[in-house]
């Protein structure tokens, strides 16, 4: 058995396992999000016009990105905060560790943030001796289970209510059985409330950052981001540079679109606008029985750090074929609308951090082509996700770009894609499987013209096994 065949079989076995263990929950939840999206966008009087507006704002923001970085630095510093532009993950983690160390922080509480997942901030802080707790319910479940997210909005989408109940009972041994979703939520809320009270540093992401005011927009369903900020003396916000928008007014169309596109909500439970350092006084808690702050500090006591992360984004901006990835607002519409994702979820259709169709661009840009190669072939190019994307990203095109680079090398000639996806004889390095699919239109015409013979041949004994061995196709 060749190494390639073994790899293919191992991948197939993993997919079958995911179908059996996670597929049902992923399918039920993503299809529920889809139904909600159809209903929610139907409420908009000009859905397509709103998407065009959002797309234009993102195009402008990415084009003016260096200018916006300097503008937001001025805005945040004028308010008394600090902006740090991190070159890569190591640089960002080093800065965050220094902030936590300078705050003498033993405990850090976090709200959901895919960017901190990308950087692996939790591991970096744990190595430095800080206790880190995720306060988003889904992220908390995964932290307890020691699992990676399987969805960019609903990270624990692959787990059922019964799974989570079993997990909590095994890890925490609660006094009362956890039988319902309300039981699980109440237990997690009470557990995390204690961690938030103990915390010295609160960390959030940011869905959008307005360059002109320094205002962060946080779109959440649980309010945990507000708690993480209000209950701590130091707030660290970590965001990719692509989250910058020119003005606060530019946020409006995205607030209309992000909840509808992702989870089918007209608006999420909490839309928070923070222009830090905020005016809310810092809090000090006394005694385990205290439910409210017993002492409050002055209005200027809170410390704020905005960590803007590059980590490959500048290179993506300068790459005409990957640049469009930076328009993504992480709504998850492309994941939920994808038939393949609905069956295997992000643990199959995903890389080191990101999942679904848009993950190919993100993984190639921030983690490298090797990461994207692990799942890039899950995209069939059906284009269904393009209509669902609130900023009209051509996700299948990005997947095809990355696939071409994997097959030919990053510097390869890309012209054949617009000439019919047919590799020429001089391209070199294309195995039988890639050559088969590169010439699939010709094969389909031949098969149709000789249908009785080709159908008989496809059903002949041994043909399926032969095709699997030589072409990787059953």
Which of 92-101, 243-252, 374-383 is the least confident region?
374-383
Query: What are the Cα distances from residue 304, in Å, to 89, 101, 106?
Result: 20, 14, 18
Mean pLDDT of the chain: 87
- For the structural domain made of 47-313, what CATH number should be given? 3.40.50.10420
Furthest CA-CA distance within the chain: 84
Is 70 exceeded by the pLDDT of residue 250? yes
Average pLDDT over residues 368-379: 92
Average pLDDT rounded to a whole number, residues 132-144:
95
The pLDDT of residue 221: 87
Q: Is the pLDDT of residue 350 over 60?
A: yes
What lies within 8 Å, CB to CB, of 380 at 6+ separation is 340
Query: Is it the case that residue 6 has pLDDT exceeding 60?
Result: no
The pLDDT value recorded for residue 288 is: 45
Query: pLDDT-based confidence at 324, cuts 50/70/90?
Result: very high
Rg (CA), the chain: 24
CA distance 231 to 237: 15
Of 238, 305, 215, 265, which is closest to residue 41 (Cα–Cα)? 265
Domain ranges of the chain: 3-38+321-431, 47-313
- Please provide the DSSP assignment of 215-231 as one string: -EEEEESSSHHHHHHHT
Residue 460 has pLDDT above 90, yes or no: no
- Cα–Cα distance measured from residue 54 to residue 48, given in angstroms and rounded to the nearest whole number: 10
Residue 369 has pLDDT above 50, yes or no: yes
Q: Evaluate whether 117 touches 88 at the Cβ level (below 8 Å).
A: no
Rounded Cα distance, 411 and 369, in Å: 13
Please state at what angle helix 47-63 crosses helix 252-262, rounded to 10 degrees: 120
Separation of alpha carbons 26 and 160, rounded Å: 9
In this predicted structure, what is the pLDDT of residue 446? Answer: 82
Residue 470 CA to residue 229 CA, distance in Å, equals 57
312: closest CA among 265, 254, 371? Answer: 371
Strand pairing report for 107-110 and 270-274: unpaired
The two tokens of residue 196 are 């938030």
Pick the range with the lowest mean pLDDT from 131-135, 143-147, 177-181, 409-413: 409-413
This prediction has a pTM of 0.82
Query: What's 278's DSSP letter?
Result: P
Q: What is the mean pLDDT of residues 448-462?
A: 85
Give the span between the Cα atoms of 363 and 300, in whole angstroms: 40
CB atoms inside a 10 Å sphere around CB 34: 16
In this predicted structure, the answer to whether residue 365 has a pLDDT above a threshold of 60 is yes
Which range, 226-230, 361-365, 433-437, has the best average confidence (pLDDT)? 361-365
Distance of CA 290 to the CA centre of its chain: 37
Is the pLDDT higher at 473 or at 38? 38
Q: Are strands 216-220 and 270-274 parallel, antiparallel or unpaired?
A: antiparallel
Under the banding of pLDDT at 50, 70 and 90, the label for residue 433 is low
Please give the average per-residue pLDDT across 230-242, as a whole number: 95
**What letter does residue 281 receive in the DSSP assignment?**
P
Secondary-structure breakdown of the chain: helix, strand, coil percentages, each rounded to the nearest 5: 55, 10, 35
Average confidence (pLDDT) over 89-94: 97
pLDDT digits 0-9 by tens, 42-54 = 999 999 999 999 9
- What whole-number distance in Å separates Cα of residue 348 and Cα of residue 376? 10
Please state which of the ranges 160-169, 252-261, 365-374, 433-442 shows the lowest mean pLDDT: 433-442
List, for residues 268-304, the tens digit of each pLDDT value: 888 999 998 756 555 565 554 444 443 434 455 789 9
């Amino acid at each position: 058995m060749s190494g390639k065949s073994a790899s293919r079989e191992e991948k197939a076995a993993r997919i079958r396992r995911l179908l059996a263990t996670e597929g049902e929950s992923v399918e039920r939840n993503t299809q529920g999000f889809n139904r909600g999206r159809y209903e929610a966008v139907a409420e908009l009087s000009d859905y397509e016009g709103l998407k065009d507006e959002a797309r234009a704002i993102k195009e402008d923001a990415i084009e003016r990105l260096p200018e916006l970085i300097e503008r937001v630095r001025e805005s945040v510093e004028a308010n008394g905060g600090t902006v740090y532009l991190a070159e890569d993950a190591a640089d960002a983690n080093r800065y965050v560790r220094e902030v936590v160390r300078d705050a003498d922080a033993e405990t850090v509480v976090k709200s959901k943030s895919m960017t901190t997942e990308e950087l692996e901030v939790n591991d970096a802080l744990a190595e430095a001796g800080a206790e880190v707790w995720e306060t988003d319910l889904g992220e908390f479940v995964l932290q307890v289970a020691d699992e990676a997210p399987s969805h960019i909005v609903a990270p624990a989408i692959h787990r059922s209510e019964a799974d989570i109940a079993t997990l909590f009972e095994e890890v925490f041994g609660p006094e009362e059985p956890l039988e319902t979703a309300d039981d699980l939520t109440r237990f997690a809320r009470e557990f995390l409330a204690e961690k938030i009270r103990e915390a010295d540093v609160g960390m959030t992401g940011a869905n959008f950052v307005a360059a002109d005011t320094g205002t962060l927009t946080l779109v959440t369903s649980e309010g945990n981001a507000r708690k993480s900020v209000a209950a701590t003396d130091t707030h660290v916000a970590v965001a990719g540079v692509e989250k910058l928008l020119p003005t606060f007014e530019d946020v409006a169309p995205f607030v209309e679109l992000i909840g509808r596109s992702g989870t089918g909500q007209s608006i999420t439970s909490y839309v928070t606008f923070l222009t830090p350092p905020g005016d809310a006084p810092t809090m000090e808690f006394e005694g385990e029985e205290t439910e409210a702050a017993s002492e409050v500090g002055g209005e200027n006591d809170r410390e704020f750090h905005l960590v803007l992360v590059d980590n490959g984004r500048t290179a993506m901006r300068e790459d005409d074929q990957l640049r469009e990835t930076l328009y993504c607002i992480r709504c998850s519409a492309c994941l939920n609308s994808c038939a393949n994702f609905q069956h295997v979820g992000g643990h199959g259709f995903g890389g080191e951090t990101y999942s679904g169709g848009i993950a190919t661009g993100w993984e190639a840009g921030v983690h490298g082509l090797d990461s994207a190669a692990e799942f890039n072939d899950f995209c069939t190019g059906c284009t269904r996700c393009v209509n669902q994307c609130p900023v009209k990203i051509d996700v299948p095109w990005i997947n095809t770009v990355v696939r071409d680079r994997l097959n030919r090398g990053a510097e390869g000639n890309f012209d054949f894609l617009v000439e019919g996806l047919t590799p020429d004889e001089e391209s070199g390095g294309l195995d039988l499987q890639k050559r088969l699919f590169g010439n699939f239109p010709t094969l389909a015409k031949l098969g149709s013209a000789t249908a009785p013979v080709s159908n008989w041949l496809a059903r002949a004994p041994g043909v399926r096994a032969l095709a699997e061995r030589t072409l990787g196709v059953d």
